[in-house]
Amino acid sequence: MPRANRRRRDLDARPLAASSEVATEPYAGRSWYVRRLSGASATRAYRCPGCHQEIRVGTAHVVVWPAEGTGGLEERRHWHARCWGTRHATPPGHGTRR
Ligand SMILES: [Zn+2]
């Protein structure tokens, strides 16, 4: 087999999750893709599911979405990086206000 062909196939076979920007992490019994956004790319405000506070425009944070199932875009969630890091201490549906 010519060398050029082999190189191209290797590129195509590289999974998306292997990209340096996206990690896979567990939450609520599922696997989630996690992408870290810089403040410069945070152009909208979001509600963080961890603390129920606003993530303000220009704040570096993470966006997560299910690695399995149909959801994808509709199930995307934006979290404060700190809240995502401590998510196991605040189960989904917890509902307690501070
Ligand atoms: Zn938060």
The predicted-structure confidence for 17-46, as pLDDT tens digits, reads as follows: 444 578 999 998 989 999 999 999 999 999
Domain assignment present for residue 6? The answer is no
User: Which residue has 């509600």 as its token pair?
Assistant: 47
Domain assignment present for residue 42? The answer is yes
What range defines the domain where residue 60 resides? Answer: 22-89
**Banded pLDDT at 5 (limits 50, 70, 90):** low
Predicted confidence at residue 1, as pLDDT, reads: 61
How many structural domains comprise the chain?
1
Report the C-alpha gap between 46 and 17 in whole angstroms: 24
**Banded pLDDT at 75 (limits 50, 70, 90):** confident
Domain assignment present for residue 77? The answer is yes
43: closest CA among 25, 62, 56? 56
21: phi > 0 → left, psi -120 to 50 → alpha, else beta; which?
Answer: alpha
pLDDT single digits (tens) 42-58: 999 999 999 999 999 99
Domain assignment present for residue 95? The answer is no
Predicted confidence at residue 97, as pLDDT, reads: 47
**Could you tell me the distance, in angstroms and rounded to a whole number, from the CA of residue 48 to the centre of ligand 1?**
5
**Could you tell me the distance, in angstroms and rounded to a whole number, from the CA of residue 9 to the centre of ligand 1?**
41
Domain assignment present for residue 3? The answer is no
62: closest CA among 28, 96, 94, 25? 25
